[in-house]
A and B are shown apart, each in its own frame.
Chain A
Amino acid sequence: MTDDQPVLEIRDLRVTFPTESGPVQAVRGVDVTVGPGEMLGVVGESGSGKSVTFLAAMGLLPKTAQIEGSVKVHGHELIGMNNNEMRKQRGKRISMIFQDPLSALNPTHRIGHQISEMVRSHTDLTKPQAWDRAIELLELVGIPQPRTRVSQYPHEFSGGMRQRVMIAIAIANDPDVLIADEPTTALDVTVQAQILDVIQNIQHNFRASVVFITHDLGVVARIADRVQVMYAGRTVERGDVESIFRNPTHPYTRGLLASLPALGRERLTPIPGAPPNMLRPPSGCAFRPRCPYAEEICAGEIPVLRPLLGLETACVRAEELLVVAGPT
């Protein structure tokens, strides 16, 4: 952990969506800290609230969403900003790339236009200048022949290239925080690797703070500096990537790692059960119904993160389990 001020600081974020069947608590008190030049991997299943947390930070949730808590980028509070102010932050201070690059790009606009639009809405560059900047950016993310490519349309690019374009758009104004929401999920494995390289380059060469949201542990192991595991709208464990993978302390994290195939393992052991219905989450620890070590105490208060063995865990029985469950 660096001593500098954290670039992104989220404190006790809560997001609730009113639905026909009642209020759904998608995020139930989440803290996030990312330092400068750091890559935080956020891991969780669909429904864990991992995307919603950062959509809330970007201000991209529907107006009906109820958001509480604090989100600060370099100390500037984003929650509660009015629409106009928030708009100025998006794309300048905090940027996001999404999962499916084909549908995330406007099919009727040229690539160069889509990039220069991003540039011109936050700077005073003229059209030709912005167009040149777009070509620069394309080069930066590794797109060959950027001068020709820049006037093409999204459907003329392959999946991996499109994602590079998305990245180019996102970094166009040198944002402080880049949020990548499952950017490689829709891509082939080999292309995946290339995109991860691009993102890592940006992290290192621009000292950007990156949040990498994914459900793919392999990716996290490969590029993240620190990991945050989310379940049912809360953080259950977090720490540096080595500690998390070497000695996870939360049963959920253990379960995730145990379910990966490895040489020497003859059977796969998935986590039984399914994530909870967020209309009525279980009392206490939300993982309780699926946890092999659950006891009465787990149904009590919702566990909070506390330090243990160099990482933070939100399991009441974590210490006991070190003995009981043994190393993974």
Chain B
Amino acid sequence: MIRFVIRRMMWTVPTMFVITFLVFVAIRIGTDPVQSYLRLNPRASQAKIQQYKEVNGLTGNIAQQYFHWLHNFVTFNWGKSIKGSRPVWPELKQALVNTIVLGSIATFVGVTIGLGIGIISALRPRSFFDHATTTGAFVGISVPPYVSAILLQLFFAITITRWLGLDKPLLPTSGIYPPGHKGFDPFLRMKHLVLPVTVVAIQIIAVYSRYMRASLLEVKNSDYLRTARAKGISDRRILVRHALRNALIPIVTVAAIDIGAIMGGLIITERIFENKGMGDFFLTAYENGDFPQLMPWMVFVVLGVILANLLADVLYAVLDPRIRLD
């Protein structure tokens, strides 16, 4: 097992090289940093432009430029954004934190509720609960996050406020804190997280409840569950030690991969609710053609996905003795 992990880690390095190179090329084709620079500094002189080019390694062929970037990247010299000339790392770090907060709370809530619903549905198939939640899950999957986000915003900012005659919205619909707020206030933070978490959680609940239901149903119909019943052991034991134990295996591995995707997966929600996380970071950088910001972001995302996949494989092997990693 350890050997497997080490081997994977070693493979990660060349993989990262290749992927970052491809990404580098792609983004360069798509956005020319010089153009972006010019757009933001339209009156820059030729000399300034040349200086900008040299400082940022924009001379030479594409391979040279890549290695220049790579060198800077691994020495943590991440430069400054094109727009506003702000250091890249502090903003990226903050974005990372925000996304992790939003992502983990939403995942926790969503997975817990989703699995719970799935389990109950599987234990009472074809019941009213089952039909209702299946339809709900279908609808949940079908409603794109930006639609639910916007509808929730509308509802909480306008509709409820009018109904209840409040002069301030019941739940804040944007930002991490109210404008101008300084410092750390957990209560306010939570309040501002309610709507974004709901939007993300809806999707998670819809997907995981279906997964759990399907997985548990399959286990329920298995021969070994019949054997367990034939042994005369208690129903609770059958449910937990046999049914859930086996039904959760595929779900855990999928969850690991989903978590890896969280980094860039909240773009829409973050943008709509003005929650400055990784997704929002990307979108802003993209809009501005801000190359120095885009590359480190990509690296983080790819790294996250690779690590998450590794975690998923390891978990699978740990949980299912039939799987042998080699």
Determine if B230 and A105 form an interchain contact, defined as CB atoms under 8 angstroms apart.
no
Q: Which one of A91, A108, A155 lies within 8 Å of B231 (CB-CB)?
A: A91
| A325, CB-defined interface residue at 8 Å | no
In the complex formed, the residue of A with least CB distance to B219 is A106
In the complex, chain B residues 210-231 whose Cβ is within 8 Å of any chain A Cβ: 222-224, 226-231
Chain A residues whose CB sits within 8 angstroms of the CB of B245 once the complex forms: 108
Partner of A103, one of B222, B229, B234: B222
Please, how many angstroms separate the alpha-carbon atoms of A166 and B230 in the complex?
11
- The minimal Cβ–Cβ distance linking B280 to chain A, given in whole angstroms, is 42
Asked whether any CB of chain A lies closer than 8 Å to the CB of B242, the reply is: yes
Task: Specify which chain B residues have a CB less than 8 angstroms from the CB of A109 in the assembled complex.
Answer: 241-242
A121 and B232 contact, CB distance less than 8 A: yes
* Residue among B224, B229, B232, B235 with max Cβ neighbours from chain A (10 Å): B232
When the two chains form their complex, are residues A107 and B231 in contact, meaning their CB atoms are under 8 A apart? no
A90-B230, A109-B242, A155-B322 given; name 6 further pairs at CB < 8 Å.
A90-B232, A107-B321, A108-B245, A108-B249, A122-B232, A153-B321
B171 interface contact, C-beta 8 A: no
Contact A108 B230 (CB under 8 A): no
Contact B231 A121 (CB under 8 A): yes
Q: Say whether B36 faces chain A, with CB atoms less than 8 Å apart.
A: no
The yes or no answer to B320 lying at the interface (CB within 8 A) is yes
| B224 to A, closest residue via Cβ | A106
Chain B interfacial positions (CB closer than 8 Å to A)? 222-224, 226-235, 237, 241-242, 245-246, 249, 319-322
Cβ B232 vs Cβ A98 within 8 A? no
Nearest A-chain residue to B320, judged by Cβ: A108
CB distance from B77 to the nearest CB of A (A): 49
Contact status A105-B321, CB under 8 Å? no
With A100-B223, A103-B222, A106-B246 as known contacts, state yes or no: A90 contacts B320, CB within 8 Å.
no
By the criterion CB–CB under 8 Å, are A107 and B233 in contact?
no
Q: Does any Cβ of B come within 8 Å of A88's Cβ?
A: yes
Smallest CB separation, B102 vs chain A (Å): 34
Please give, as numbers and ranges, the residues of chain A lying within 8 Å of B230 by CB-CB distance: 58, 60, 90-91, 95-96, 98, 170
Contact across chains for B227 and A98 when beta carbons are under 8 A apart? yes
Sample (26) of A-B pairs whose CB atoms are under 8 Å apart: A83-B235, A87-B234, A87-B235, A90-B230, A90-B232, A91-B232, A98-B230, A103-B222, A103-B223, A104-B223, A104-B227, A106-B224, A106-B228, A107-B224, A107-B322, A108-B246, A108-B249, A109-B242, A117-B233, A117-B237, A118-B231, A121-B232, A121-B233, A155-B321, A166-B227, A170-B230
Q: How far, in whole Å, are A278 and B175 apart by their CA atoms in the complex?
A: 66
In whole angstroms, how far apart are the Cα atoms of A109 and B240 in the complex? 13
Tell me how many residue pairs across A and B have CB atoms closer than 8 Å. Answer: 73
Q: A103 contacts which chain B residues (CB < 8 A)?
A: 222-224
Q: Which of A133-188 contact B (CB under 8 A)?
A: 153, 155, 166, 169-170
Identity of the chain A residue whose Cβ is nearest the Cβ of B321 in the assembled complex: A153
Contact present for B322 and A105 (CB under 8 Å)? no
Which single residue of chain B is at the shortest CB-CB distance from A170?
A: B230
Chain A, 233-274, CB within 8 A of any chain B CB: none
Interface of B is mostly: helix
A212 to B131, CA, bound (A): 42
B322 near A60: Cβ-Cβ < 8 Å: no
Residues of A within 8 A of B226 (CB): 60, 98, 104
Residues of B within 8 A of A155 (CB): 321-322
Q: Is A89 an interface residue (CB 8 A)?
A: yes
Task: Give the residue name and chain of the A residue nearest to B242 (CB).
Answer: A106
- B232 to A92, Cβ gap below 8 A? yes
What mask results when residues 118 to 130 of chain A are scored 1 for a CB within 8 Å of chain B, else 0?
1001100000000
Q: Which residues of A contact B320 (CB under 8 A)?
A: 107-108
**Which residue on A lies nearest to B230, using beta carbons?**
A96
In the assembly, what is the distance between CA of A2 and CA of B231, in Å? Answer: 30
User: CA–CA, A46 to B301, complex, Å?
Assistant: 56
- B241: which A residues are within 8 A, CB to CB? 109
Identify the interface centre among B227, B235, B245: most chain A CB within 10 Å of its CB: B227
Which residue on chain B has the smallest CB distance to residue A100? B223
Interface centre among A58, A104, A122, A166 (most CB of B within 10 A): A104
CB distance from A52 to the nearest CB of B (A): 13
- A108–B244 alpha-carbon span in the complex (Å): 11
Give the Cβ gap from A207 to chain B, nearest Cβ, in Å: 22
* CB of A58 to closest CB in B, whole Å: 6
Question: Given A153-B321, A155-B321, A155-B322, do A104 and B231 touch, yes or no (CB 8 Å)?
Answer: no
Query: Please, which residues of chain A bring their CB within 8 A of the CB of B242?
Result: 106, 109
The complex places the Cα of A58 from the Cα of B226 at a distance, in Å, of 11
A91 to B241, CA, bound (A): 18
CA distance A20 to B304 in the complex (A): 49
A172 nearest in chain B by CB position = B231
Q: Do B223 and A98 touch across chains, with their CB atoms under 8 A apart?
A: yes
Known: A106-B246, A153-B321. A169 touches B231 (CB 8 A): yes
From the candidates B224, B237, B322, name the one contacting A104 in the complex (CB within 8 A). Answer: B224
Q: For the complex, what is the distance from the CA of A118 to the CA of B246, rounded to whole Å?
A: 19
CB distance from A288 to the nearest CB of B (A): 35
Q: Is the CB of B321 within 8 A of A60?
A: no
A153 and B229 alpha carbons, distance in the complex (Å): 20
Contacts of B235 in A (CB 8 A): 83, 87
Determine how close the nearest CB of chain A comes to the CB of B307; give it in whole angstroms.
25
Given contacts A106-B224, A108-B245, are A153 and B322 in contact (CB under 8 A)? yes
Residue numbers in B under 8 Å from A121 (CB-CB): 231-234, 237
Q: Which residues of B contact A88 (CB under 8 A)?
A: 232
CB proximity to B under 8 Å, residues A61-120: 83, 87-92, 95-96, 98, 100, 103-109, 117-118
- Closest Cβ of chain B: how far from A173's Cβ, in Å? 9
